[in-house]
Structure 1
Amino acid sequence: MGLGSIYLLFGAAFGFIWALGILLSPASFGERVRIFFLLSFSSIWLLGGVSFFAGWTSHYTILYGFHLPFALGIAPVLYLHFQITLLGLPVSKTEAFFHFSTSMFCILLFLPFWTLGEEFRQEILKQMGQPRGYSSVLAFMQISPKIAILSYFLPVLWSYRSYIFRAEKNENEERARRMFLLYLILITFVISWGLVGTLLKRIDFVRESIFSLPALLVIGFLLSHREQNWLGFVGKSLREVRYKKSRLKGMDENQIKTKLEALMKKEKMYADEDLTLSQLADELKITNHQLSEFLNHRLSMKFSDYINFWRVEEAKILLLEDPDRSILAISESVGFNSKSAFNEAFKKFSDTTPSEFRKTAIKYKLSIKF
């Protein structure tokens, strides 16, 4: 194994270790999971580069393309993270499934290659020099992750160009914006460079692009520690841009708030664990985007946080009114589908756990009696 392969292997190991560290961070569960998968998929992509440059695929043909379904998952995870964390928009399971369909399609394409035996794989790899038929499809899949990332990145950059080039009054926000912009430019350039190299059959371009990926991981790690709140600043600014042309213009926002609170207090819609933004918007007779803007921009809460807030408030009442009822039963009755999600939300809005809240409240009641 050459120095180049060792360097890429270091990058993959660094990405995996960082991913595991993210799982232990204080961020929300969803944010931790998304970043974990983003870093893990990037590391597996790097392992694909190691297998190519180290010649592993020549000796172990079944390794060819193993990294591609994961590499194709990078762009969807980035998109989901951008939508949920930075813009505060909910993403349905159906929409998420659609974005990952390219990864599943890739697996289906490679199934014959992986399952039809060594002789078949050797024949397909021999045809890669002058690809035709099935081999041409597999050859194209090698560049599909780069195309996917650029297809997601470039429209986003264009949509938010007014944010990217504007000046910030706050020095911290301005620094975060510059860091964010620089990192996006670096990623876009590296991916584009590799794509151009593949199309022009310039192996040196491809090599330079692949070898830049570990450096991007390290830079991302350093930036995340230097500017720990950069995503907070960036998300706030992006939401401002998104809502610049308000969809709520001409609408009675006080009336929306009143109706929304009535649906929570009287109808207790939050108790439905499958409640979606769409269903709530239909009840209010407004669009998904209007409700999303109202929650994010007017109440400064994501849809999930707003619903969980009401669930926690109801849970507090039940914890005190029925001290013999289990915490799990209470969490399910207010709409949570797991005890861990309930505990996380309860601590977020109450700075304590459900069991600690119940114990403290009972002790307080006893102290009043005496």
Structure 2
Amino acid sequence: MQIFLISLLMVSILSLLYSIGEILSFSRNKFSWMLSIALVSIFIMSLHAYLLFTGIMLEFPFLLGWYIPFNLLIGPFFSRYAAQRLKLPFLTKLFPHVIPAIISILGLILFHLDGSLYVKENILATMKSPTASREFPYLGFLNLHFLVYVFISGRKILSSIGYRKGIEEKYSRIMLFILIMASMVSLFSLIGFLFRSIVFLEVSIFLLIMILIGIYFLRIREPEFFGELEKIVRKGRYSKSRLKDHDLKNIQSELEQLMENDKIYCEEDISLKSLATELGLSQHQLSEFFNDFLKINFVSFINRYRIREAKKLLLEERETTVLAIAYQVGFNSKSAFNSSFQKEVGCSPSEFRNKN
């Protein structure tokens, strides 16, 4: 038990120091805050366990269980960080993945409103026999949440690189090893909770310490790790690209001509398929061109041109109604026009016209 407590303390200290380092490096890497939140979550989770098993939690019963929301943040924030650093299109919207943490916060508020006596009894029971509480096995399922995100991240990264390249390339092998280690932490922890085994929990904590130390030395020895891995991902995606036999600059030039000269965006019924036909591409090829090369989706791209033209007409044709201009630039309703204009410009078409 003593080794377990020392291990928890080590994880707390390492994750806290590492998260502080990420916060300090924010100016060099704008995604550091995501990794920092994940590391702070590990710090809170391990510190909570230390306080609980040593009995210190009796002095602060209101802290019981508050590691759960942070536990549910680790997977989403680690995965989002990897996706952003490697420029991979998954977990593009973070909020839906934070909902379980928000729900757990509401549940904990209700739990603590139920009275502090039950809370203290729970702490005392844990001190006498850490694995005896009836809630203990159920807490193990929190590890499945993290395991799902490890699986999603690993699958996306490897499918982008290519499974064969993933084994051959040095940096992808390192990433694969980290993901396997993270999976083992979750699995051993899950087994430890389900079978009420401190031994398995000790192993999971030991592996987590190894991961934190390993990542620390990796950042020192390979400061460009994510940069090199991103190059491998980019090469892997290009090798599978539907556009590898096309001149991307030429496609962009033809697209600009259709937009600037022909004003094809003013056609109300323009679609990805019809635009692809104009460019001599398939629908999938054009979609890939927008998402991977221009970093924008089709609808946003078309609406950006429509709004730019609408801004010009609102100032040049002041006698023309807003609705007429909306139809003129390709929108099929005033509400769709207002919504897109507000999103792009920050005010309604009428407000824009009045201000200028």
Shorter-chain TM-score tier: 0.5 to 0.7
Instruction: Please state whether the residue corresponding to 1:73 is helix, strand or coil.
Output: helix
Matches within 5 A, 1:207-226: 207-226=202-221
Could you tell me how far 1:257 is from its partner in structure 2?
Answer: 1.3
What residue identity is the alignment partner of 2:110? P
Match of 2:143 in 1: 146
- Partners in 1 of 2:57 and 2:235 — Cα distance? 48
1:112-162 CA distances to partner (integer Å, 9 max, x unpaired)? 12233212424666699463xxxx5x862x224311111111244345546
**Structure 1 residues 64 and 184: alpha-carbon distance in aligned structure 2, compared to 1, 3 A threshold:** same
Match of 1:109 in 2: 107
What residue identity is the alignment partner of 1:13? I
**Structure 1 residues 109 and 263: alpha-carbon distance in aligned structure 2, compared to 1, 3 A threshold:** farther
Q: Which moved more, 1:6-15 or 1:244-253?
A: 244-253
**Structure 1 residues 24 and 139: alpha-carbon distance in aligned structure 2, compared to 1, 3 A threshold:** same
Match of 2:231 in 1: 236
- Partners in 1 of 2:274 and 2:59 — Cα distance? 61
Match of 2:95 in 1: 97
Q: Is the CA contact (8 Å cut-off) linking 1:150 and 1:191 kept in structure 2?
A: yes
Could you tell me how far 1:91 is from its partner in structure 2?
Answer: 5.6
Which one of 238, 255, 258 corresponds to residue 253 of structure 2? 258
- Partners in 1 of 2:45 and 2:345 — Cα distance? 36
Could you tell me how far 1:58 is from its partner in structure 2?
Answer: 4.8
Match of 2:201 in 1: 206
Q: Is the CA contact (8 Å cut-off) linking 2:137 and 2:194 kept in structure 1?
A: no
Matches within 5 A, 1:286-305: 293-294=288-289, 299=293
What residue identity is the alignment partner of 1:152? Y
Q: Is the CA contact (8 Å cut-off) linking 1:292 and 1:303 kept in structure 2?
A: no
Instruction: Please state whether the residue corresponding to 2:201 is helix, strand or coil.
Output: helix
Matches within 5 A, 1:67-216: 67-89=67-89, 92=92, 95-122=93-120, 129=132, 131=134, 136=135, 140=138, 142-161=139-158, 163=161, 165-167=163-165, 174-216=169-211
**Structure 1 residues 157 and 225: alpha-carbon distance in aligned structure 2, compared to 1, 3 A threshold:** same
- Partners in 1 of 2:6 and 2:42 — Cα distance? 16
Could you tell me how far 1:168 is from its partner in structure 2?
Answer: 8.0
Q: Is the CA contact (8 Å cut-off) linking 1:12 and 1:44 kept in structure 2?
A: yes
- Partners in 1 of 2:9 and 2:133 — Cα distance? 30
Does residue 1:27 correspond to 2:24, yes or no? no
- Partners in 1 of 2:259 and 2:56 — Cα distance? 58
Q: Is the CA contact (8 Å cut-off) linking 1:56 and 1:63 kept in structure 2?
A: no
Instruction: Please state whether the residue corresponding to 1:65 is helix, strand or coil.
Output: coil
Between structure 1 and structure 2, the one with the greater Rg is 2
**Structure 1 residues 19 and 101: alpha-carbon distance in aligned structure 2, compared to 1, 3 A threshold:** same
Instruction: Please state whether the residue corresponding to 1:100 is helix, strand or coil.
Output: helix
Q: Is the CA contact (8 Å cut-off) linking 1:256 and 1:284 kept in structure 2?
A: no
What residue identity is the alignment partner of 1:101? I
**Structure 1 residues 176 and 250: alpha-carbon distance in aligned structure 2, compared to 1, 3 A threshold:** closer
- Partners in 2 of 1:291 and 1:259 — Cα distance? 12
Matches within 5 A, 1:251-330: 253=248, 256-258=251-253, 261=256, 293-294=288-289, 299=293
**Structure 1 residues 241 and 139: alpha-carbon distance in aligned structure 2, compared to 1, 3 A threshold:** same
Match of 1:50 in 2: 50
1:196-215 CA distances to partner (integer Å, 9 max, x unpaired)? 22222222101221233233
TM norm structure 1: 0.62
Could you tell me how far 1:89 is from its partner in structure 2?
Answer: 3.1
Could you tell me how far 1:166 is from its partner in structure 2?
Answer: 2.5
Instruction: Give aligned-pair identity as a percent.
Output: 27
- Partners in 2 of 1:115 and 1:282 — Cα distance? 57
- Partners in 2 of 1:118 and 1:282 — Cα distance? 62
**Structure 1 residues 232 and 265: alpha-carbon distance in aligned structure 2, compared to 1, 3 A threshold:** farther
Structure 1 stretches lacking a partner, 5+ long: 267-279, 308-334, 338-370
TM norm structure 2: 0.64
Could you tell me how far 1:251 is from its partner in structure 2?
Answer: 8.2
- Partners in 1 of 2:97 and 2:218 — Cα distance? 28
**Structure 1 residues 155 and 185: alpha-carbon distance in aligned structure 2, compared to 1, 3 A threshold:** same
Instruction: Please state whether the residue corresponding to 1:28 is helix, strand or coil.
Output: coil
